[in-house]
Structures are given as C-alpha cells and as structure tokens.
Amino acid sequence: MWLFVALILVPLIEIALFIEIGGWLTLWPTLGIVVGTAILGSWLMRQQGHRALADVQRALDRARDPLEPLAHGALILFSGALLLTPGFLTDALGLALLVPLVRVMLLRWILQRGVHRVIIGGGPHRPGGMRHPDDDVIDADFKDVTPGDEPPRRDGDQERGGRKAAIGENRRPGRH
C-alpha cells in the first residue's frame, strides 16, 4: 500500500516543484539544474560506488562481515537511480543518500525497526523467512536397504570381494 501511495505522491510533488521553481527561475535555469544534478549525481555515485566496492573487497580480504559495505553500496546505487530520475525531490533524496552519515543513520533506523527482515526474508516457515530452532522438519530422500540384499548394479560400481559394491555402501548408518 505504501508503494502505491509513493508512486502517486512523488510525481505530484515533483510536478508542483517544477511549476513553482520554474515560475521563479524560468524554464532554462530549471532544466539546467535538473540536468546538472543528474550529471553531478552520476559522477558522485560512481566515485562512492568504487569506494564501497573497495570496502567490500577489504572486508572479504580481512575475513570480516561485508554486510555493512554492501548495504552502503546498495544505498549508493539507489541514490544514483534517484538522481537520474528528473525532479527536485528525487534529486534532494539522492544527494542526501550520498552523504555517508545519512546512510549510517538510515541503516541504523532500518535495523532498529526490523525492516531488514521484511526486505530480506519472507519464507514459508516464520515471518521474515527464518526457521525456528525447534522446527523438526527434515527434507530428505531415503531408500530402505535390507542387510544381505545385493544392491543394484550400476555402471562405475567398484569390485569388492568377488561382488560389486555400490560406491558409499560401506558407510555407517546415519552418516553421509
């Protein structure tokens, strides 16, 4: 529902801002600002995107969790999409997301609200897609093998003691 409201409200706000700012600045300066913020934003996004990618690689090299640099990279990508969308509101939001402190505060807000469970998860077992430790569901295939019965012969079976044994036949029950 909130997405529907945003898809209706954002264009209406952008149109209103274009009319107000265009009436104040006239047509060409208004268009120059919109095109200029798109160019500046794409350059800034590229610079910060390279830095975020380097942070992810550094975290992986040091065997640290790369989730935070990945989240910053995702927000930088989203800010680039906002900056390439014509309009003053989307440009302001996109430029704000290029400020590292704003991204940190937004990520902290997302983690405190539990929004990440809704965005990341969504599986059939629990809300947010996480299984509860007490769930006893085991999805497996099995085959009843009675002792003394000869296993079916297959190509690639290994010769053992005068008969062919299936690969993995000598394993203990319950071990894979």
- pLDDT the model gives residue 62: 85
- Of how many residues is the chain composed? 176
Q: Cβ(65)–Cβ(103) under 8 Å?
A: no
Structure tokens at 28: 């060409």
- pLDDT the model gives residue 3: 79
Average pLDDT over residues 72-78: 88
| C-alpha dihedral, 95 to 101 to 103 to 107, nearest 10° | -160
Closest of 90, 119, 98, 122 to residue 6, by C-alpha? 90
Average pLDDT of the chain is: 75
Domains of the chain by residue range: 8-101
Span of 22-31, 40-49, 70-79, 101-110 with lowest mean pLDDT: 40-49
Read off the DSSP letter of residue 127.
Answer: G
Structure tokens at 22: 């265009």
- pLDDT the model gives residue 74: 87
Scored b (16 or more CB within 10 A) or e, 130-166 reads eeeeeeeeeeeeeeeeeeeeeeeeeeeeeeeeeebeb
Q: Contacts from 16-23 at CB under 8 Å and sequence distance 24+?
A: 17/87, 17/88, 17/89, 18/87, 18/88, 21/88
Alpha helices in the chain (DSSP H): 2-25, 27-61, 67-84, 88-97, 100-113, 115-120
